[in-house]
Structure 1
Amino acid sequence: MNKIKIIADTSADFTAEEAKAMDIAFVPFTIDAGKNTYIDDDTLNLDALYADMQASQEPTRTGCPSPYNYKEAILGTGSDEIFVVTISSKLSGSYNAAKTAVEEVKREHPEKKIALIDSKSASAGTANVVSFIHKRAEEGKDFDAIEREVREFADKQSTFFILESMDNLIKNGRIPKLAGKAVNVLNMKPIMRGEDGAIGLFQINRGFKKSLAKLAKEVIRINAEKSVEFITISHSHAEEKAKLFKSYIQDEIQTATIRIVQTKGLSSVYADFGGIVVAL
């Protein structure tokens, strides 16, 4: 029987052990921090990356996989039924690179069924999309049914993040310098949320712990409305914060799989040291 295979860019946060168990093939981003270039794979030294990010006055740059990288990964699966999952198309060129590769492979191999899925998210949210596909495949659902369901899942998923520091977003020009520094000085910890694949402001609170508590209430409310299946808490060297957040929600949410994971390189860059991302 032809096994459904999953390819993802490295916006999807999984441990090496999880990825191996789920048989996920990753197509990595590259990261330029200071004078060093990193490949976002299992050999990445996160401590060195964080140190370079902090030491450099220049913004940390990320490079998405090329169409060639995606094509090699697709052909390397040896499967005729393949899902390719990327970070939100509004946040990176990864989706467009994958689209070019998918179209080329389909022309050369019309027998292959390849679904390109825009996660409309990042980090924990991209990981949830991958988990959704994997679970449905394990349940024995056919390719077309999974494709329909996962597109609906991606459309309805909610993603939030809280940052300890705005420094990297300031360096990258993602937020105005004066506004970002004011937030840092006043110890304001905004809760940001995904809005149809882009990023918007959900709420501002003073102090990280207060934002965690406020976000927990929103996650509990969302679960009460739609009874979520997956909750992923990705953290950028902030495991204690992730565990605290889980403690806020676990008694109220009984049916969802709640998972805590360290961010991979790409998400570590944008979450910066101490940030968390929650998706459900």
Structure 2
Amino acid sequence: MSFNIVCDSCTDLTKEDFEKGCYTWIPLTLLIGDEEIVDDDTFDQHSFLEKVANSKGACKSACPAPEAYMEAYKKADDIYVVTLSAELSGSYNSAELGKKLYEEELGEKNIHVFNSRGASSTQLLIARKIYEYASQGMSFEQVVEKVEDYIRGQRTFFVLETLDVLQRNGRLSKVNAVLATALNIKPVMEGTKEGIIQKLAQARGTKKALAKMAECIVKEGQDLTERILAIAHCNCYERAVYLKKLLEDKLEVKEIIIVDTKGVSSLYACDGGVVVAY
């Protein structure tokens, strides 16, 4: 049985992932003022961040059409789908609707849509976990069960230079909108198990906030000796390396990887943002 992993474009896959030949990329559309930018392989992060910084209009994203998912579902016998948290984006619902459209037109097949309950590096780890299990020859049902269990144990944390884009797009329903920006206070945010975003801690300055985030991860007390931890960064590789060293000094982790944010993650993380998942 062949398999394909369909990912919306907030899944920060790498070149090495795509070279495996089993991933299909479903782009969201990025809206900067009146300009529409498709989050595909033509995405230019540097140019995009400049446009966001200079924009006086809205900066937001639009989820893919169900038909885009439906077309991707034709690629293999077993289809696994990874989307942004259903609580943060319409991408999950679009993927589910694409499944219904496919089944109405072409009949039932093995299609499962995973609600990541996160974004960015969270989705990357889910996609790689699907690949790990499916490439071992596990049945469709086994892969779905094991990956859903993996998702229930995932954690996501992030520190951003600014929460402006998230706030303007209604993604921070449980966060106090009044932040002490004049005092350079940087909140440490977490993605909850329900897939929403909330403030966990704070520190003055980004470097101290990254250290505070590392402390929060250590305090979680999870056994990470068999887990991979992924750090996604938006145009701030040095910060990602700094955080990686902090974590390596305090934790026993199977592996820590660093990846670049793609378009959607770059929009919401903003220039200088760091997202950690495991």
Is TM > 0.5 for Structure 1 vs Structure 2?
Answer: yes
Query: Is the aligned partner of 1:89 residue 2:86?
Result: yes
Q: Secondary structure in 2 aligned to 1:91?
A: coil
TM-score (norm 2): 0.92
TM-score (norm 1): 0.91
- Pick one of 146, 150, 156 that aligns with 1:149: 146
The equivalent residue for 1:80 is: 77
Moved more, 19-28 or 266-275: 19-28
Moved more, 235-244 or 31-40: 31-40
The equivalent residue for 2:165 is: 168
**Amino-acid identity (%):** 33
Give the helix-richer structure, 1 or 2: 1
Moved more, 239-248 or 100-109: 100-109
Q: Secondary structure in 1 aligned to 2:161?
A: coil
- Pick one of 259, 265, 268 that aligns with 1:267: 265
Contact persistence 1:164–1:189 (CA under 8 A): yes
The equivalent residue for 1:50 is: 49
Q: Secondary structure in 1 aligned to 2:58?
A: coil
C-alpha RMSD of matched pairs (Å)? 2.0
Change (3 A) 1:22 1:233: farther
Contact persistence 1:232–1:258 (CA under 8 A): yes
Contact persistence 1:233–1:260 (CA under 8 A): yes
CA deviation vs aligned residue, 1:30-53 (integer Å, no higher than 9, x gap): 001134211111111111211111
Q: Secondary structure in 1 aligned to 2:42?
A: coil
Contact persistence 2:224–2:253 (CA under 8 A): no
Q: Secondary structure in 2 aligned to 1:122?
A: coil
Query: Is the aligned partner of 1:276 residue 2:274?
Result: yes
Gaps of 5+ in 1: none
Which 4+ stretches in 1 moved above 6 angstroms? none
CA deviation vs aligned residue, 1:206-234 (integer Å, no higher than 9, x gap): 11111111211232344644645121100
For these two proteins, the number of residue pairs brought into alignment is 275
Q: Distance in 1 between matches of 2:228 and 2:134?
A: 16
Contact persistence 1:81–1:114 (CA under 8 A): yes
Q: Distance in 1 between matches of 2:84 and 2:21?
A: 19
Moved more, 203-212 or 251-260: 251-260
Q: CA deviation at 1:170?
A: 4.5
Contact persistence 1:5–1:83 (CA under 8 A): yes
The equivalent residue for 2:22 is: 23
